[in-house]
Amino acid sequence: SQQGEEDPQALSIQEGENATMNCSYKTSINNLQWYRQNSGRGLVHLILIRSNEREKHSGRLRVTLDTSKKSSSLLITASRAADTASYFCATDASNAGNMLTFGGGTRLMVKP
């Protein structure tokens, strides 16, 4: 069953703006990961944040994790048209043997 819920389901912004996507989950986790998927393509791993971490940066990406609220956010700063894709969060739940459960995804469109 899907654990992660993402919002918004779709987001349309102008190039240069920031994009924020949120993910909520239900059970305790080992880590939470964010992936990107271009239309009809495979997944690209963006960033992993462990349950004992609160914030992580990678280039223009910033991920936060609030385990008390069971939520995470992905911020893409200074967006580019090439950032247009679907973004998924995935949780690696405790005792699940690194099985990932994916959220519904956010479809991001960045207009040039």
Partner 1 sequence: GAVVSQHPSRVICKSGTSVKIECRSLDFQATTMFWYRQFPKQSLMLMATSNEGSKATYEQGVEKDKFLINHASLTLSTLTVTSAHPEDSSFYICSGAQGAGETQYFGPGTRLLVL
Token representation of residue 74:
């992905």
Cβ atoms of residues 33 and 89 within 8 Å: yes
Stretch that binds partner 1, among 11-19, 44-52, 54-62, 71-79 (CB under 8 A): 44-52
For residues 32 and 92, give the distance between their C-alpha atoms in angstroms, rounded to a whole number.
Answer: 6
From the list 21-29, 39-47, 65-73, 75-83, the region that binds partner 1 by CB under 8 A is: 39-47
Among positions 2, 12, 14, 27, the unique one binding partner 1 when judged by CB under 8 A = 2
Residue number with CB closer to partner 1 (93 or 110): 93
Q: Give bridge partners of residue 71 from the DSSP assignment.
A: 24, 66
Under the rule (CB under 8 A), what is the footprint of partner 1?
A: 2, 30, 35, 40-45, 48, 88, 92, 97-105, 107
